[in-house]
Structure 1
């Protein structure tokens, strides 16, 4: 498909996500921003929050990060994060466990109550 962009997330523990996706919304330090194929090149710092990935099949996946950087070009988005929790699993129990970990990660690093509430709301809507 011509409208897909390569996306990956790397933490100090290694590569945790890699796929071709339709779009991604990132928690930029100056506010959220979305990326589609053909986006202008940029490097941005990221604050703690939720990365919302729109997959090829138009389903969404969420990944919580505590902070990091993103490098964007016309065909690829690479996120370097201090820590990340992929909110997924093979069953509801595993998803709930990862959702709890993601909430704990965000709470542990967020000092902005409004941003924390917005992020936790996104996570609650996932569960």
Structure 2
């Protein structure tokens, strides 16, 4: 049996997942990363993307819009701004998220414009990913 780590995914609304996973794939702000048992302790911020927890029972995938992940040798705790199980994603939810990001980008101060535009871009990519699942 593969070594596992405790994976918890929490959003402001509720706890979405708590499983023993063999690996957790995280859409980090600095690039995608995979956490496995024994990983060096680290904290990373999330960008919009698909977060996956792979366990012996199968893979759970969630669309996240941001937040952060705390990784230790024994577990991963993700505090997401918004997290939606991929199977619950509908075009409408994603369209709303993209529109919200566009609205924020439109009023973002100049020094935050690039970051705001990147979020719109990441959400559009997320929408395309979800369409293929």
Structure 1 residue 14: deviation in Å? 2.7
Partner of 2:12: 12
Structure 1 residue 102: deviation in Å? 5.4
RMSD: 2.1
CA distance in structure 2 between the aligned counterparts of 1:85 and 1:13, rounded to whole angstroms: 11
CA deviations over 1:75-110 (Å, ceiling 9, x no partner):
10000111111124xxxxxxxxx1216534652437
Residue of 101, 111, 117 corresponding to 2:117: 111
Please say if 1:68 is aligned against 2:67.
yes
Partner of 2:37: 37
Structure 1 residue 49: deviation in Å? 1.3
Unmatched 5+ stretches in structure 2: 102-115
Give the structure-1-normalised TM-score.
0.78
Q: Kindly indicate whether the alpha-carbon contact (under 8 Å) linking 2:27 and 2:46 is maintained by their aligned counterparts in 1.
A: yes
Structure 1 residue 11: deviation in Å? 1.3
The number of residue pairs the alignment matches comes to: 116
Structure 1 residue 117: deviation in Å? 4.3
Pair 1:36–1:106, CA change in 2 (3 A): farther
> Which structure 1 residue ranges, 4+ long, deviate > 4 Å from structure 2?
none
Partner of 1:94: none
CA deviations over 1:23-82 (Å, ceiling 9, x no partner):
11111111111111111100111111110221214x322101111011000010000111
Partner of 1:99: 89
Partner of 1:53: 53
Partner of 1:26: 26
CA distance in structure 2 between the aligned counterparts of 1:13 and 1:84, rounded to whole angstroms: 9
Pair 1:33–1:106, CA change in 2 (3 A): farther
SS in 2 for 1:44: strand
